[in-house]
Amino acid sequence: MDNLIFIIGALYTGVALFLWIGLNRKYSGEQKQPVENASLIICARDEEKNLPDCLAYIEEQTIDPERFEIILVDDASQDSTAELMEKFAEESRYPVQVLRLPPAEPGEPSGKWRPLKEGIKLAKNDAFLMTDADALLSPSWAEVHLQALADSDTAAGFVLITGNALWSQVQRLDWLFILGSGSAMAKWGRPQSALGKNMSIRRSTYEEIGGYDAIGFSLTEDLALVQAVAKQGGRQSYPCSPEMTAATTATPSWGEFIQQRKRWASGLLHLGFIGKALIALMALRNLAIIYCFFASLSSFFWIWVITAAANHLILQRIASKLDSPFSLKSFILWECFQTWTSPVQVLQMLASRGVEWKGRKH
C-alpha cells in the first residue's frame, strides 16, 4: 500500500507541475479573421435581486455601441426580472432585445440550455458572448473577449468569488483551482471546459457544430459547447487576465453548494479522457490522504505536504496573475475543505441523483 500511496503522490505532483507550466505558457493559436462585433446573451430566471447590478456593469462596457448588442432572455420568471429587462432596454445606450419565454412544456428540456439557444437565434453579430445575471463584468470585458477570439474559436475567462467570509474565501480558491486547471489545459492545446458566466464563441464556429440544437440538452451547456468545439479541433483561449474576469458571490449554503456540484458533475460525461483522468487523480489523492491519516501518519504528512505544496504553487500563480486576494490562511482552509469534504460530497450526490436548479428538478 505504501508503494501505491507514493505513486499517487508522485503522479499528482507531476500533473500539478504540468498544469503550473501550462499556466505560464503563451497561447499559440493561429491568427484568424478578426472579430469586430459581438452579441451578449444573458439568460435569467427569478433574478430581480442580482440583475440590476449586472446590467449596471454592462452599461459601463468600453466597447462602442455600434459593435455591441445585448440580448436578454427571461426564462419564465415569476418575479420582476422581465420588467427590469424591459426597463434596461429602454434606457441603455446599447441596442437591446428582450425575449420572454413561456414556461417549458411538460417533458421539454429546460435549464439554461433552452433560453440560451433561443437567445442566440436572435443574435446578429459575429461573436456570441455569454454571462449570467449574478455576474459583474470588468469594463473592458467585451473588448478583451473579442481580442481573445482573434486567434481562437472559443474564449473563456475566470470568475472571482467576492467576499471576505471564510466560506467565500474557500469557494474563491476552489473556483480558481478548477478554472486554473482549465486555463492550463487550454494553453497545452487540450480545452476541457469553461463557465457560462464568462465565455464566448465565434458565430462561424457555433454554426459549424450545429449550435445547441445539435449538441442537445445538458445541465452543463457551457462544458458541452467547449467539448463539441474541441472534438472538431477547435482552439480555446483562456487567459489569466484581470480585464477578462467576472465577479460573483459565493453559494450561500451547504445545500446549494451540493446542488451546484451535482449539476457540474452531471457534465462529466462530456469530458474526454484527459479531463476525466484529472478529476480521478484529484479524488485518488484525497482518498489517499484520508486513508493515511488512519493507517500511517508518516505517509499522511508526506503525501499531504507534498501535494499541498504543488496546489499552493498553482493557486499562487493564478492569484498573482489575476490580482486576486491570496493568503496562507485561506489556502489552508481550502486544502482542508476540499480534501476532507470530498467523500461527503460524493455520498450526498449518490444518495440523491436528481438536481434542483432555479426551482426546477432534473
Whether 360 has a pLDDT exceeding 90, the answer reads no
Q: Which residue has the higher pLDDT, 298 or 176?
A: 176
Closest to 170 in 3D by CA, of 287, 275, 254, 255:
254
For Cα atoms 319, 320, 325, give the angle at the middle one, nearest 5 degrees.
50
| Predicted model pTM | 0.92
Residue owning grid cell 449550435: 211
Ordered structural domains, the chain, with CATH: 2-23+270-361 (no CATH), 29-253 (3.90.550.10)
Residue 40's Cβ-side half-sphere holds a number of Cα atoms within 13 Å equal to 27
pLDDT band (50, 70, 90) for residue 356? low
Whether 163 has a pLDDT exceeding 70, the answer reads yes
Q: pLDDT tens-digit profile of 114-138?
A: 999 999 999 999 999 999 999 999 9
| pLDDT value for 245 | 96
| pLDDT value for 344 | 76
- For the chain, the average pLDDT equals 91
Do 31 and 151 touch, CB atoms closer than 8 A?
yes
Whether 254 has a pLDDT exceeding 90, the answer reads no
